[in-house]
Structure 1
Amino acid sequence: MKRFLRCAALFCFCIFLSCQNTDFSPRAIDGEIDLSSWNLSETNMILLDGEWLFYPEEWVDDRHPASGKPHLVVSRGTWNDQVLFPSSDREGLGWGTYVLKLKLPQRFAFRDYRLNSGLYGVAAKLIVNGEEIGEVGRVSSAFAGRTEWMSFGETIFPLNEIGKNAVLYVQVSNSMHIRGGMWKAPALGERSYMISSSRTDMIRESFAMGGLFLLGLYQLFLYFFRRKNPSSLLFSAFCFVMSLRLTVTGSYVFAIIGNLQDGELPFRLDYLTNYSGAAIAMYYVRSLYPQAVPILWVHCFSSLYILASCFAVFGSLYWLSFTLHPMLVFTFIPLSLSFYILAKIWMADRQGRLILISGMIILMVSIVVDICSTFFSTSWKDSLSFGLLAFVLSQSVYLSRIHSAIVNLAEKELLAAQYQLVQSEKMSSLGIIVAGVAHEINSPMAVIRLAEQNVLYSLKQMLSDLPSFGSILQGKKLSLFEKLLRFADEPKRNLPGIGERTVRKEIEKYLNEIGCPNPSSKAELLVDLGFVSISEDYKEYLTDPECDSVWIKTSEWIGFLRKMEGIHQASDRVTKIIQSLKTFTHLDPKAEKRLSHIQEGIETVLIIFSHPLKFGIEVQKNFDEIPAFLCYPDELIQVWTNLIHNSIQAMETGKGILRISIRQEVSNDISYAVVSVQDTGKGIPEKDKKKVFEPFFSTKPAGEGTGLGLHITKQIVEKHDGRIELNSDSSGTKFSVSLPIFLP
């Protein structure tokens, strides 16, 4: 709040400064200005301000001397309360001649200097020493028919050789509005400075006008693309109106654009843009924080501006000019209301409040300065254009931040919606295969339960036999026990049923040859222990009857270990299925690209679909070695899920071949990982090929598909800057996904 109070104090200080006249040039006294001792080369330009002689209803020059007494008037002011016109019955209407004597320096190069008319809102003719140097507007003493044209811009005139002493005559007429007189005093300046100054003014006015128009156009586009913030529309309208106002009130731009510098239209546009801009500004400020004041207040205050705007278009120009000063005074009411809203915004700690309020205060200061310039005839003529430009720049930054916040929120909502779509599609796929997944988990769990009972029985039996068995483990028997334990740690090759019988017969034949007692039962024991062939190291143990007990007891121990391995393998199988489910269902909407092997995601999906695949569908994998690259692995799992699931469903009989390949290709110097998923189904009809990637399109019966699978797949692939291709005929369908290999 203290910062806001400081801003208010600065605001009041600027108002005070705007009411001060800071011009320290020589001033005219009693119709004469002494420039003989003034260094014109250092000043560049001198404002011919002060007390001028005025001859009402007389055209005075060297050839036409004055017939009446002059009035001593102050330049940069209107005729109101200064001059009476016998032939005019309306305030402000009249005509006459301003006269000022100039005492110039001894060495005054006339060709190097120019005279700036400085006249605005009236018609005038400038004469120096009886020679006309130029005319602005069209002066006339005939009020009937309103033949006069007004000047609406400054004009620079060259000077001829006029001598040390010169008399400047300014013949002025006004038959249209209340503000007759010389609003601004002419100025005498160095030629190059005058030209440079006019060009600078033109650039400044063009920049301010163009900046307002472009910023208004930018905010208008933002509003039409995202119609959530009415502030953008109001701000755009304000920028367009103020751009037109600067065009009208500018000294040069309006004349160049339409050659309408002199006439009634600029005068009406000046009033219209002034009043309508104030009304729009009130609605705009209120839209920034609608809770601050009721909308009825804004309607009440702006209605007066709207009525004045209508009068500016359709009303009499003379009576329109009467509205200026009352409306300028009335402007302090909406300014106070705007200041109150700014205080509310500051206390509410709104986002971007500093830049918002700074621009507002700059505009309010420039408005007050402009009002004071009108009432007190000060020379701060550029304050409003700079204030408007600073205001619209700050407001554009503020509104752009608001729009950025809206866009970011919309993007988050879009990502959340996409995340929900992907998750729903995953759950849809998971719902179809959940029975198979349950079976895949129940099978190893049954193995674990059965092995658990055998393990408990075997463990109790081994513990009871341990003392007696330990007592015989000496010498040759101990050596055999250690050999068999080492043999149990070696990897074993699982034999099919036919192979196992063949191995048993060969071992039994060998035992007969070496004279082993009970060769049939011992051959079965050796096969259970995992022997495929018998080395000569075991010959002495096989023929010795005393070692039979070691063979039998050791087979119980090794059997116990095999049962534990079975439990481990079954639990590992369950763990893999659960981990695959976890990976399958996981999706982080805020995840960033990370290094990942795409084959891992494909293997995860194959585990999930292992149940429907093992009943007649042969999976043929051809995976080239592809390095890990940057991608969104969670989302790619959804791609492989959709493609593999569609391929399984395409093979309606439950039998066929599913071919999955991964290879690396190079195109346009970019490496791609190409994943192909091909089935042997009946293919996709030609008429449906162009529709398969469209949302909610499905060839499946009602209730069996959402129609979003391939659409989501294409979106995810395109998110990776990849592409997906479809090839299908009566022999099957093949989808090929190409993903660019980007490494960190």
Structure 2
Amino acid sequence: MTASPPTTPVNADLAPRLAQHRALREAPASEHAWLLAHGTRHVYEAGDVVTRKGEQAHQMIILFDGHVVIRADRGAGAHKVFEWKGGDVGGAMPYSRGASPPRDACAEERTEVLAIDKEHFPELVRECPVATAALVHIMIDRARQFTSGDLRDEKLVSLGKLAAGLAHELNNPASAVMRSSKILIESLSSAEEASRILASAGLTPEQFAAIDKARAMCDAARGNAPSTPLERADREDELTDWLADHRATQEYAIPLADTGITPGALDLLAQTVSGDALEAALGWISSCVLVKSLASEIEHAAERIHDLVGAVKGFSYMDHAPAAEPLDIRRGVADTLTMLSSKARAKGVQIAVEIPDDVPRVHAVGAELNQVWMNLLDNAIDAVDKGGHVTVRASRERERVVVGIIDDGPGVPKEIQGRIFDPFFTTKGVGEGTGLGLDIVRRLLQRHDGEISLDSEPGRTEFQVRLEAER
């Protein structure tokens, strides 16, 4: 329990201070007198604990001066969650549920308060209606401030996860674009030189036609290109041997092996073109093949970047007003999984999505609903072992859409299942979890007249989200 701070008798000098108190100055003098008669003056020195983590406050605290702060670590180091200064009222209040603070509430400096025990609250409500009304408004504002702060902090945590995942996803295609574009610049110079050599080789129209046919065969053979590294190595060896037999540059085998063209197809070219002319022809063909291959790699990487940007826009609804609208569950889940794909791959997690086409839309704010999917799917990936499985299922039950997120992790112990949606409750290590994710999920779903439930046992955990179907 919290050690009792030094106390002094309630003196008359508190009456004028209470009359000037920001939160309670509108109350009449008779109510001030009642508060003074039933309260005790406390003085907390800097560092004293006013209310300990997990313990319900048993007193209402009217602060005259000083500073009381709750600090918590929400994944990025300890920072201020809530504070009270002179002119504020904290602790327990009439009509409050008596929740306990998520961390110790400590005095930051010498703090003087008037403390009133909870046992006096019923009489306070009867004898001090003006003060009671003021306290109710304070309680509502405090809840609103806690809620907005929690949502803001959880969004920042999610933004950090989103940025980290996106940076990892963008790195691969961006690196491919840079690498291929550099090689492409060099290859264009080689292709120009090969074209000049070919143009000066004095070839007949029939030979040019044979060369062009061979180049076209390379393009057509891409569908039959080796599909595994071993097959590609074998094809490259075959082409290297063919080039050596025809006294041609053996490095041409590297780009040609990617096309699927065979030594037999090159034999057709060698029947018409030979000697230096064959060398020039093969140089030009391999240059054309390499340029097209690099351009194709750049195109595919750019498409991946475009898809990622589209997924971010879809996930965040950055070009939508924050208003409810008909939403496709499949799109929201797909965009969210795109954001989490690097994390899932790094852990070898296999994710299956089983959402039938006939599942109706739901009416919700897109960014908020995607926040729900992000938190639940992120937790599921964290919960499973390496190589684990996560499944997303959806179906219609009467007027509701039911979305289940299932993992094959160790499960949530029975003894803590009833607390899993409590704010600041987490089973993760210090700095690994905020303890706000599931609380935020619950609050966001309540905004949409939805609900969430948990069914867990070792080897199978399912969070079920129920939302009203769009009519």
- Shorter-chain TM-score: what band? 0.5 to 0.7
Asked whether the equivalents of residues 656 and 679 of structure 1 are also in contact (C-alpha less than 8 Å), the reply is no
Give secondary structure in 1 for the equivalent of 2:298: helix
1:502–1:666 Cα change, 3 Å: farther
Give the aligned residue type for 1:612. K
Aligned match of 1:567 in 298, 321, 324?
Answer: 298
After superposition, give the CA deviation of every residue in 1:216-235 in whole Å (9 maximum; x if it has no partner): xxxxxxxxxxx9xx9xxxxx
2:231 is the counterpart of 1:499:
yes
Unaligned runs of 5+ in 1: 1-226, 231-406
Other-structure match for 1:733: 461
1:576–1:425 Cα change, 3 Å: farther
1:539–1:429 Cα change, 3 Å: same
Aligned match of 2:259 in 513, 523, 530?
Answer: 530
After superposition, give the CA deviation of every residue in 1:510-549 in whole Å (9 maximum; x if it has no partner): x79xx9846995993575241166787x652244443453
Other-structure match for 2:352: 621
Instruction: Give the Cα–Cα distance (whole angstroms) in 2 for the partners of residues 602 and 494 of structure 1.
Output: 35
Aligned match of 1:439 in 162, 168, 190?
Answer: 168
Instruction: Give the Cα–Cα distance (whole angstroms) in 1 for the partners of residues 366 and 273 of structure 2.
Output: 63
Aligned match of 1:635 in 368, 380, 386?
Answer: 368
Instruction: Give the Cα–Cα distance (whole angstroms) in 2 for the partners of residues 618 and 703 of structure 1.
Output: 23
Other-structure match for 1:463: 192
Q: How far apart are 1:565 and its partner, in Å?
A: 1.9
Q: How far apart are 1:482 and its partner, in Å?
A: 5.1
Q: How far apart are 1:639 and its partner, in Å?
A: 1.0
Other-structure match for 1:172: none
Q: How far apart are 1:553 and its partner, in Å?
A: 1.1
2:414 is the counterpart of 1:682:
no
1:634–1:564 Cα change, 3 Å: same
Asked whether the equivalents of residues 660 and 675 of structure 1 are also in contact (C-alpha less than 8 Å), the reply is no
Asked whether the equivalents of residues 421 and 439 of structure 2 are also in contact (C-alpha less than 8 Å), the reply is yes
2:443 is the counterpart of 1:711:
no
Asked whether the equivalents of residues 664 and 673 of structure 1 are also in contact (C-alpha less than 8 Å), the reply is yes
Instruction: Give the Cα–Cα distance (whole angstroms) in 1 for the partners of residues 155 and 303 of structure 2.
Output: 24
1:543–1:690 Cα change, 3 Å: farther
Give secondary structure in 2 for the equivalent of 1:664: strand
Instruction: Give the Cα–Cα distance (whole angstroms) in 2 for the partners of residues 418 and 585 of structure 1.
Output: 20
Give secondary structure in 2 for the equivalent of 1:726: strand
After superposition, give the CA deviation of every residue in 1:310-358 in whole Å (9 maximum; x if it has no partner): xxxxxxxxxxxxxxxxxxxxxxxxxxxxxxxxxxxxxxxxxxxxxxxxx
1:558–1:549 Cα change, 3 Å: same
Correspondence 1:87-236 to 2 at 5 A: none
Give secondary structure in 2 for the equivalent of 1:684: coil
Other-structure match for 2:87: none
Aligned match of 1:554 in 264, 285, 292?
Answer: 285
Q: How far apart are 1:559 and its partner, in Å?
A: 0.6
Correspondence 1:307-456 to 2 at 5 A: 421-432=150-161, 434-456=163-185
Other-structure match for 2:333: 602
Other-structure match for 2:422: 694
Other-structure match for 2:122: none
Other-structure match for 2:211: 480
Instruction: Give the Cα–Cα distance (whole angstroms) in 1 for the partners of residues 436 and 204 of structure 2.
Output: 70
Unaligned runs of 5+ in 2: 1-22, 27-136
1:533–1:483 Cα change, 3 Å: closer
Give the aligned residue type for 1:716. L
2:322 is the counterpart of 1:591:
yes
Q: How far apart are 1:638 and its partner, in Å?
A: 0.6
Instruction: Give the Cα–Cα distance (whole angstroms) in 1 for the partners of residues 171 and 419 of structure 2.
Output: 40
Instruction: Give the Cα–Cα distance (whole angstroms) in 2 for the partners of residues 434 and 724 of structure 1.
Output: 27
1:503–1:641 Cα change, 3 Å: same
Instruction: Give the Cα–Cα distance (whole angstroms) in 1 for the partners of residues 185 and 304 of structure 2.
Output: 22
Q: How far apart are 1:457 and its partner, in Å?
A: 1.2
Give the aligned residue type for 2:297. G
Instruction: Give the Cα–Cα distance (whole angstroms) in 2 for the partners of residues 647 and 637 of structure 1.
Output: 15
Task: Report which of the two structures shows the higher radius of gyration computed on alpha carbons.
Answer: 1
Asked whether the equivalents of residues 725 and 736 of structure 1 are also in contact (C-alpha less than 8 Å), the reply is yes
Q: How far apart are 1:423 and its partner, in Å?
A: 4.6
Q: How far apart are 1:494 and its partner, in Å?
A: 6.2
Asked whether the equivalents of residues 232 and 258 of structure 2 are also in contact (C-alpha less than 8 Å), the reply is no
Instruction: Give the Cα–Cα distance (whole angstroms) in 2 for the partners of residues 594 and 736 of structure 1.
Output: 22
Name the count of aligned residue pairs. Answer: 327
Correspondence 1:262-341 to 2 at 5 A: none
- Identity of matched residues, %: 21
Instruction: Give the Cα–Cα distance (whole angstroms) in 2 for the partners of residues 607 and 740 of structure 1.
Output: 25
Instruction: Give the Cα–Cα distance (whole angstroms) in 1 for the partners of residues 240 and 149 of structure 2.
Output: 65
The two structures, once aligned, show a CA RMSD in angstroms of 4.1
TM-score by length of 2: 0.58
Instruction: Give the Cα–Cα distance (whole angstroms) in 2 for the partners of residues 588 and 557 of structure 1.
Output: 42
1:589–1:615 Cα change, 3 Å: closer
Give secondary structure in 1 for the equivalent of 2:466: strand
Q: How far apart are 1:483 and its partner, in Å?
A: 5.4
1:646–1:551 Cα change, 3 Å: same
Give the aligned residue type for 2:231. G
1:503–1:487 Cα change, 3 Å: closer
Asked whether the equivalents of residues 221 and 261 of structure 2 are also in contact (C-alpha less than 8 Å), the reply is no
Give the aligned residue type for 2:422. E
TM-score by length of 1: 0.38
Give secondary structure in 1 for the equivalent of 2:456: strand
1:661–1:703 Cα change, 3 Å: closer
Give the aligned residue type for 2:452. I
Give secondary structure in 2 for the equivalent of 1:739: strand
Instruction: Give the Cα–Cα distance (whole angstroms) in 2 for the partners of residues 703 and 422 of structure 1.
Output: 18
Other-structure match for 2:269: 541
1:738–1:483 Cα change, 3 Å: farther
Q: How far apart are 1:452 and its partner, in Å?
A: 2.4
Instruction: Give the Cα–Cα distance (whole angstroms) in 1 for the partners of residues 326 and 439 of structure 2.
Output: 25
Instruction: Give the Cα–Cα distance (whole angstroms) in 2 for the partners of residues 486 and 527 of structure 1.
Output: 11
Give the aligned residue type for 2:440. I
Instruction: Give the Cα–Cα distance (whole angstroms) in 2 for the partners of residues 461 and 709 of structure 1.
Output: 56
1:726–1:450 Cα change, 3 Å: same
Instruction: Give the Cα–Cα distance (whole angstroms) in 2 for the partners of residues 681 and 555 of structure 1.
Output: 52
